[in-house]
């Protein structure tokens, strides 16, 4: 009888597929090392993982979690735009004792922001500005007011 070596779990196709999903760098390495699939298949899987990685890295606009505020003390007016994940945002407006909030979505192309609000209350568009004097601070110019980034 021939002497055959039993493959370890991470050398078998099922183990490699699991590692590709759970921890892709190791799965990718093992896929190429063990040569279970054809070279064409390995290149297709590598390309698909690279595309997913690039797409997920580019998905964040950099605004997620940021808050911008505009205050006009003379008019007793305060407004906040809060950016959340998945291109969702909130708008909060305070005039005297009246407080309003509104949910919406946003899109960012280059430095141009476009808003869509559920109740129609809030800015329609704006320009994202990186402050030259303070590289970590961003502003949004909506034409009638400038919203400055703040941290809680």
Q: pLDDT per position in the chain (152 positions), as tens?
A: 556 678 888 889 899 999 988 988 899 999 999 888 999 999 999 999 888 877 766 555 578 888 999 998 887 889 999 998 778 999 999 888 888 899 999 988 888 999 999 987 889 999 998 766 666 678 999 988 889 888 76
Same domain, 138 and 111: yes
Q: Residue 49: which domain range?
A: 9-58
pLDDT (tens digit per residue) in 12-53: 989 999 998 898 889 999 999 988 899 999 999 999 988 887
pLDDT score for 73: 83
CA 33 distance to own-chain centroid: 33
Query: Structure pTM?
Result: 0.57
What angle separates helix 24-34 from helix 13-22, to the nearest 10 degrees? 150
For residue 88, CA distances in Å to 13, 107, 121, 124 come to 40, 9, 15, 14
Place of tokens 């009638």: 144
Same domain, 44 and 119: no
CA distance 109 to 152: 27
First to last CA, the chain: 72
pLDDT score for 57: 62
Same domain, 80 and 52: no
pLDDT score for 54: 76
For residue 137, CA distances in Å to 44, 68, 84, 122, 149 come to 42, 10, 18, 22, 6
Same domain, 52 and 122: no
CA distance 106 to 65: 13
- Indicate the number of domains in the chain: 2
CA distance 105 to 116: 5
For residue 79, count other CB atoms closer than 10 A to its CB: 20
Place of tokens 């959340």: 84
Same domain, 73 and 137: yes
């Amino acid at each position: 009888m021939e002497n055959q070596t039993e493959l370890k779990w991470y050398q078998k196709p099922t183990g490699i597929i699991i590692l590709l999903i759970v921890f892709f760098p190791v799965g990718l390495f093992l896929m190429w090392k063990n040569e279970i699939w054809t070279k064409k298949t390995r290149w297709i899987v590598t390309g698909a993982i690279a595309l997913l990685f690039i797409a997920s890295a580019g998905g964040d606009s950099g605004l997620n979690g940021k808050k911008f505020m505009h205050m006009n003390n003379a008019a007793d007016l305060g407004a906040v735009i809060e950016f959340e994940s998945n291109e969702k945002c909130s708008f909060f407006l305070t005039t005297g004792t009246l407080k309003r909030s509104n949910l919406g979505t946003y899109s960012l192309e280059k430095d141009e922001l476009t808003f869509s609000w559920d109740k129609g209350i809030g800015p329609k568009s704006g320009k994202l500005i990186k402050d030259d004097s303070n590289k970590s601070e961003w502003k949004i110019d909506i034409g009638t007011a400038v919203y400055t980034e703040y941290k809680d």
